[in-house]
Amino acid sequence: MIWTLVVIPVVLMLMGFPIFLILLAGAAATMVFTMNVPLLALPQYLFSSVNAYALLALPFFILAGELMDRGGIARRLVDLMRASMGRVPGKVPMTAITGGAIFGAITGVGAASVATQSKIMLPSLRQEGYADEYSAGLLASIGAVGVIIPPSIPMIVYAAAADESIPRLYAAGIVPGLLLVALLGLHALWVGRGRTIPLEEAFSLRRFASALRHGIWAVGVPAVIIGGIYGGIFSPTEAAGVACLYAFVVSAWIMKELTWTDLMAATRTTVSFTAQIMIVIACAGVFSWLITVNQISAQMVQVMQDLALPAWVLLLAINLLLLIVGCLIDPLSAILLLTPLLLPMATAVGVDPVHFGIIVTVNLAIGLFTPPFGINIFVLQSVAKIPLKTIYRGIMPFVGIYLLALMLITYIPAISLSGVRLLIGN
C-alpha cells in the first residue's frame, strides 16, 4: 500500500505531472492492486467528492471577482481608500494593502487580487518613488490576505475536507486577516517615513465625498456578503450567488462599465478556473478517502501519541511541513491532501478544528508568494514585467511579516476563536 499511496505520487510529482493526475494514479493503483476494489467504482467516489452543497460557492465567488475587476468596482474601491487617507505616510502602499485585502477577500482568490492591484497600484507606487523591489514584494504579498479574510475559497475547501462549518471558519478568519493588514500597514508607515507628501494630497472632504459617491456601490459588495451571512439572511453559498448578482447589476446597469465582451470573458475565466479546482477536489477526495479507510491517519496519530510530543512542538512541525508544501503545490490541493492526515494529529493534542483551519490557511497563503514557485510571483511578473530576481528580493521582508503573524495565530488561539465566539457563540 505504501508504494501505491506514497511512492507512485512522489515519482509522478518529480516527473512534473499535474496534481490531479498524481492523486488519481495513486488512488487508482491502491484500489486495484491492494484493496481489490473494481476500477468501475472510481467514478462513483470521484462524484461523491464534489457532491457537496458548500462547493457551489466556488464558481459564484470567482465570477463575482471577475465582474468586479472588469466592471470597475475594484478601481473605485482603491480610489475610495486613497481619498480617505489624506497625507498619511505610506499612503499609497496602505491604499494597496487595504484595497487588496478587500478585493481579495471578496473574490477569495489571491492571484486575482495581485493581478488587479498590480494594474491599478504599480504606476502610483512608481510615481511616488517606491523602488520596484519594495512594490513587487508588497503587491505579491497582499494577495495572500484575501485568502484569509472571509469569504475565502481555501476555507470553503477546508470546510469540505474537515466536515467543518463554513460560517465558523469565516468568523475565525476575520481577526487574523485584520492582524495581517495591521502589520503590513505598520511596515508601510515605517517605509514611508520621511517622504514629502504634497499639500494637495491632504484629506479633502470634497474629494472623499466624490470618491464615496462613485464607490458607494462598490463598498456594498463586502457589506452584502458579510452582513448577509452573519445577519442570518443567507448561507455562505447563497451569499456567493447574491454577490455575483450584485456585482453584475452594479457593473452593468449602475456603473455601466461592464460590456457584453467583458461578461463573456469573465464567464470563460470562471468556467476554466472552476473546472481546474473541481477536478483536483474530486481526485483528492478519493485519495483522502483511501487514507482514512486504510487507517493511515489513525496510525500517524498513534505514533504522535507514543512520541508524547508537546503540543507546541507538534504545531511547529506542522507549520514547517505546510510552509514547505505551500511553496510547491497550490493551496487547494495541499488542503485536500494534508487535512485528513494532519487534522487528527492536531485535535489529538487539543487544537480546535476551526483554529487549525486558520493555521492551515495562513501557512498556505504564505506559500502563494514564497519563492521559488509561489503563484502570486508569476502573476505579478506577467502583469508588471518586473524581473523575477527583483521580485524575489522584495518579497523576503513580507515573508518575515507573515511568519510573525503565523506564530501569533498558531500559539494564541484567541486570535482566531474570538471572532467565532463574538459572531456565532460557543
Average pLDDT over residues 175-183: 92
- Which tens digit of pLDDT belongs to each residue from 227-241? 777 677 877 778 878
List Cβ neighbours of 295 (8 Å cut-off, separation of 6 or more). Answer: none
- Band of pLDDT at residue 195, cut at 50, 70 and 90: low
pTM for this predicted structure: 0.75
How many beta carbons lie within 10 A of that of residue 190, not counting itself?
Answer: 10
- Band of pLDDT at residue 351, cut at 50, 70 and 90: very high
The answer on pLDDT for 277 being more than 90 is no
pLDDT attached to residue 79 = 75
Alpha helical stretches, state H, 51-109: 57-70, 73-83, 91-107
- Which tens digit of pLDDT belongs to each residue from 32-60? 887 777 777 788 888 887 777 767 777 88
Q: Is there a contact between 107 and 64 (Cβ–Cβ < 8 Å)? A: yes
Alpha helical stretches, state H, 231-330: 236-249, 260-293, 296-307, 311-328
Lowest-confidence range among 52-61, 152-161, 348-357? 52-61
**Cα–Cα distances in angstroms (integers) from residue 23 to residues 5, 128, 252, in the given order:** 9, 47, 41
Q: What percent of the chain has pLDDT over 70?
A: 89
- Band of pLDDT at residue 315, cut at 50, 70 and 90: very high
The answer on pLDDT for 368 being more than 70 is yes
For the chain, domain boundaries: 1-37, 53-423
- Band of pLDDT at residue 2, cut at 50, 70 and 90: low
166 φ, ψ (degrees, to nearest 5): -65, -45
Average pLDDT over residues 328-332: 75
Residue 319 and residue 314: Cα distance in Å, rounded? 9
The answer on pLDDT for 201 being more than 80 is no
Residue 372 and residue 328: Cα distance in Å, rounded? 8
- Which tens digit of pLDDT belongs to each residue from 89-105? 777 888 888 877 776 66
Residue 25 and residue 12: Cα distance in Å, rounded? 9
The answer on pLDDT for 179 being more than 90 is yes
Most confident of 28-42, 105-119, 155-169, 380-394: 155-169
The per-residue pLDDT of the chain, averaged, comes to: 81
Q: What percent of the chain has pLDDT over 90?
A: 14
- Band of pLDDT at residue 367, cut at 50, 70 and 90: confident
Q: Is there a contact between 159 and 137 (Cβ–Cβ < 8 Å)? A: no
pLDDT attached to residue 176 = 94
Residue 186, classed as helix, strand or coil, is helix
Cα radius of gyration (the chain): 22
The answer on pLDDT for 362 being more than 90 is yes
The answer on pLDDT for 144 being more than 80 is yes
pLDDT attached to residue 372 = 67
How many beta carbons lie within 10 A of that of residue 36, not counting itself?
Answer: 7
Q: Is there a contact between 127 and 120 (Cβ–Cβ < 8 Å)? A: no
pLDDT attached to residue 407 = 96
pLDDT attached to residue 129 = 81
Residue 122 and residue 87: Cα distance in Å, rounded? 19
Q: Quick one: the chain helix, strand, coil %, rounded to 5?
A: 80, 0, 20
How many beta carbons lie within 10 A of that of residue 271, not counting itself?
Answer: 13
pLDDT attached to residue 401 = 94
**Cα–Cα distances in angstroms (integers) from residue 117 to residues 80, 121, 129, 138, in the given order:** 14, 5, 17, 10
pLDDT attached to residue 405 = 95
Most confident of 253-257, 289-293, 337-341, 402-406: 402-406
Most confident of 258-262, 295-299, 399-403: 399-403
Closest CA to 257 of 215, 299, 319: 215
Residue 263 and residue 105: Cα distance in Å, rounded? 21
Provide the CA 415 distance to its chain's centre, in angstroms: 18
Residue 385 and residue 164: Cα distance in Å, rounded? 41
- Which tens digit of pLDDT belongs to each residue from 6-21? 778 778 877 877 777 8
Handedness of CA 10, 13, 15, 18 (dihedral sign): positive
The set of cell numbers assigned to 235 is 448561507
More confident site: 132 or 220: 132
Amino acid code (one letter) for 166: I
List Cβ neighbours of 406 (8 Å cut-off, separation of 6 or more). Answer: 319, 359, 362, 363, 366
Residue 344 and residue 362: Cα distance in Å, rounded? 19
